[in-house]
Structure 1
Amino acid sequence: MTTNSSFDETVVDDPGARVLYWVLFPVLGAGLGWVVRWAAGWIAGLPVAPLHAVFKAIDEAPDPQATLVALGVGLLVGVVVSVLAVADMLVVRVGIGEVTLTRGGSTKRRVARGDVTAVFFDRDQLVLLGRDARELAREKTDLSKTRVEAAFTGKGYPWRADGDPHRDEFRIWTRLDDDLPGVAHGLLIDRAAALAEGKTAEAAELREHLLKLGIVVRDEKKKQQWRRDRRELA
């Protein structure tokens, strides 16, 4: 975990974890490939086994070619997992004039300092609030909370060590909730389905649509919770 500071910007990153991902997952993948090659004969000999024909083909393939292929495929799978893991890592850049949140080198959020009224952690999510209790950013991260807090307080941002000042306004969403606009209720129904199916990108997109309607959403134990912000909508 590193924090690079300058007068204009403090960067909180975790290059150690990035290196670990690039080394660990390919090694584990290659190891898994070797295990599959070693266990293929035993699995193929079972009366009932998933992918029986595949394991039989692996067992009957000649060595050392079969072992090398298994190691190579496992290594490739590990590299793919490493790419996905690194791409999901959050980097926080706290400047005097703005905050930039990036993943995989791509900017996720850019928030002007003057728009920020509170910064805090909600469990493992970094949250930035703006005027009228609007949520400007909510990003999951494994970065050190202490270093993130130091980066924001060092640049004079309003850090909330006690967490979300609006936590008591959240309520659990249900399909019978009649205190929501019809469009927002429909979006929450779609988002619940996306979460159940593991479609995180779709759930994030639906959450953005809800924010535009003035509805702030957080997830607690696989249940959606919502509150209204305080803007005046036409």
Structure 2
Amino acid sequence: MSGESSPRQATVLTYSPFGRALVLLGPAALGVLVAALAPMLARWLMKAHFPVLGIVWKVVGSVDSWWKVGVQAAILAVLGALVSVEIVRRSTRLAVDPAEVRLQTGDQLVTVARPQVDAVFMQGDCLVILDRESRQVFRGEPQAEAGPIERAFREHGYPWRDGDPFDDLYQPWVPETDQLPVAVEAVLSARAMALRKKASSEAGELRDSLEKLGYAVRDDGDRQLWRPLVRS
């Protein structure tokens, strides 16, 4: 991944040429490779009397002519291209300067002014920005790698952290324990249902609702972890 300077002294963080080629061409190339090799592997497994998923190997192994392989390769290449489009659409291009951070994810642009920022850190593959009330003003998967991102934020004077500074405050949410206000319990219950349905947009909106009630939430596998907001 790469960083470059603009006339406004911003550091732009996006895919490197190699990274962009890998994202745009990799899934389609993998689809073509699978189309070419899968029938041969399936026929070998049938000859070896491999019992698991036998019907699957029979169907895949029936692709035994060049035109069938070609059709399968075309289908998988198209599916791979769609995966590439989705990866680019969901990843974030950053522009960091001393005054603000601009985060472009698909058609959505988020701008965070420097005075708002209290902490910036990586959490897994995601970049997280917290404001001065410890609310999550941005969370997303950047196009650049962690190293260049950290250098850019540090060079422009942002409070980079090695991890979530409020990590010790999080607690697992356990339903119906009377530990939290009724309104907060209701939002966490609704969000748990949204997570089970893989409704990420709805889960994000409910996260915002929790912050308005004075609480932050993050996900740990299937669990929701909560903490009170903390003013700096």
Q: Shorter-chain TM-score: which interval?
A: 0.7 to 0.9
Cα distance in 1 for partners of 2:177, 2:144 equals 36
- Provide structure 1 residue ranges, at least 5 long, that are not aligned to the other structure: none
Q: Write the deviation string for residues 123-165 of structure 1: whole angstroms up to 9, x where unpaired.
A: 433222222322222223473322112111221222234x322
Quick one: structure 1 residues 95 and 50, their matched pair in 2 at CA, closer, same or farther if it must change by over 3 Å?
A: same
- Provide structure 2 residue ranges, at least 5 long, that are not aligned to the other structure: none
Does structure 1 retain, via aligned residues, the 8 Å contact 2:23–2:87? yes
Fraction of identical pairs, as percent: 32
Quick one: structure 1 residues 30 and 122, their matched pair in 2 at CA, closer, same or farther if it must change by over 3 Å?
A: closer
Q: TM-score, normalised by structure 1?
A: 0.79
Quick one: structure 1 residues 188 and 172, their matched pair in 2 at CA, closer, same or farther if it must change by over 3 Å?
A: same
Shift of 1:230: 4.2
Does structure 1 retain, via aligned residues, the 8 Å contact 2:30–2:80? yes
Q: Write the deviation string for residues 182-208 of structure 1: whole angstroms up to 9, x where unpaired.
A: 332222223223333433333223223
Query: Per the alignment, in what secondary structure is the counterpart of residue 192 of structure 2?
Result: helix
Cα distance in 1 for partners of 2:40, 2:186 equals 51
Is 1:92 paired with 2:87? no
Which position in structure 1 is the counterpart of 2:200? 200
- The 10-residue stretch of structure 1 (131-140 or 24-33) with the greater mean CA deviation from structure 2: 131-140
Q: TM-score, normalised by structure 2?
A: 0.80
Which position in structure 1 is the counterpart of 2:15? 14
Query: Per the alignment, in what secondary structure is the counterpart of residue 158 of structure 2?
Result: coil
Cα distance in 2 for partners of 1:50, 1:168 equals 48
Is 1:102 paired with 2:104? yes
* Amino acid of the structure 2 residue aligned with 1:12: L
Residue in structure 1 matching 2:26, options 12, 20, 24: 24
CA RMSD of aligned residues (A): 3.0
User: What aligned pairs does 1:211-222 form with structure 2 within 5 A after superposition?
Assistant: 211-222=211-222
